[in-house]
Structure 1
Amino acid sequence: MKKNFLALIVLAGMAQVAVAQEKRQQNPESSEIWEPVPRVVTPGVLSPNTASGTTAPSDAIVLFDGKDGSQWVSVKNYNPANWNGVTEGSNTWPIRDGAMYSAKGASLRTKQEFQDFQLHIEFRAPEKVEGSGQGRGNSGIFLQGRYELQVLDGYNNPTYSNGMVGSIYKQAIPLVNPSRKPGEWQTYDIIYYAPKFNKDGMMSEMGKVTVLLNGVLILYDFHIKGTTEYIGYPKVQPHGKGPLLLQDHGNPVGFRNIWIREL
């Protein structure tokens, strides 16, 4: 018994010596990691024609460059929880001065569909103020065609907080309201991770979104509960990739400099 105890003491001492030697042998290079090497992305260049001040980075998909609206199609009769019965046609939104403007009677969706992404989009409410609340500069950006990030004239325009500009409609209230004046260009920068569903169609992981409006953080890692409904509560419906949809709400809201990076 005594021999075993002495052996344990010797082993413990040897272990302490080994640890001490290892510590003495470490140098700055010991904790350096050289792989994997992040790929190179060229950032956008300075541009006077964008509210953000720069163009799209090199790995972005440019969805609207101020001239070509062919990556979008018009849609009618859509519902964020049910796309059955939707009719589609060519892009009917007028393009002028480098922007697309919502046309009464038709929304737009991208031809391409996406999963997780970084989205940059610029919008402008009419300079001439007409209406109030939800009737003033109203539109929306539907992520994957289902989850609405509200577009609204939020400058001195009281409305319900979970429906104001920067909200995930009827779900998330923005942290602050950094809206610019009517007629001025505003920017959304959005980081979105799609929800996940199990084999039974149940949501196993909520979708998540972080949003900056005019460079100011307004939503951080918000967990989307389901579709954004005008009446009723969110609906959970399994899906894969989905389009971006720009809503027509009867107001001539302009959009420009739209690009997306798949994550």
Structure 2
Amino acid sequence: MKLYNFKCPNCGATLTTDVKNHHARCEYCGNEFHISDETETSAGLDNQEDGKKTPTVLPERTSEEVSTAGGSVRQKKSGSRDFLIVALFLIIGLAVNFFFDKEPPRDIVPKTDLHRFFTELHPDMTPQNVEALAQKHKLHFFRIDKAINSDTANINYYKIAKTMDITLGKQDVNAETVEIEFDIAKNNAFRLAVYSDPEHIVSHALLFKYGTYYSLSAEETQAKDKAGYYYYNNSLRSTSGEQKTYPPYLKCADAVEALKMIYTYKK
């Protein structure tokens, strides 16, 4: 059996041990070494049996070093995985925020069938158009011929509401309604339509072509200048002694704006 004297390259201890299969183990630090037959150790320690130089001792990686190296690789893989997971959640969050987390627009009007009915009116409508539109929105209407500033009937008048009892004044008289006037003398030409809500009794939304509605007045020849949607509010009138006068009518871009003014207007 061959015995070798050499120093442990890991802890520096002097060892005397035999070599099996070109491997040796330090009894102090437990490090294992590979013994090379091709080169001799630079320390020049003798083989105790035959006086030969000890072969070069090449340290092997300890289990701790192997574990550390493996842990470093796993740590890098784990770090990459965590980064990808965070990036994925960030992308998903941005997508959800873009598509679903937006505050929806406030749908102030139209919110009822009567609102929708009013927004679809236009100055070229006929009585037949009005009746068809009321049926489309499942509304009820009452029609009469009445006189305005005349001894004879000169207005074809419609009152539209959610129930027939409301139009006839038998139930919930203060419910919202739309009143429409056609000029009998001018082959039932459209004059005006007024939306009223009892919760805002001093204000109305108005689609005006010509005729007279309180202080708003225009002949048929002036229709181009006066026609359009209006917001009417009786509280806008100037009180006695005020220097400025405030007409109770505000011109609006469309029916929706006129309806919104009823619910949001502040003097």
TM-score range, shorter chain: under 0.3
Q: Looking at CA atoms only, which structure, 1 or 2, has the larger radius of gyration?
A: 2
Q: Structure with the greater relative contact order (CA < 8 A, sep ≥ 6): 1 or 2? A: 1
Of Structure 1 and Structure 2, the greater helix share is in 2
The TM-score normalised by the length of structure 2 is 0.27
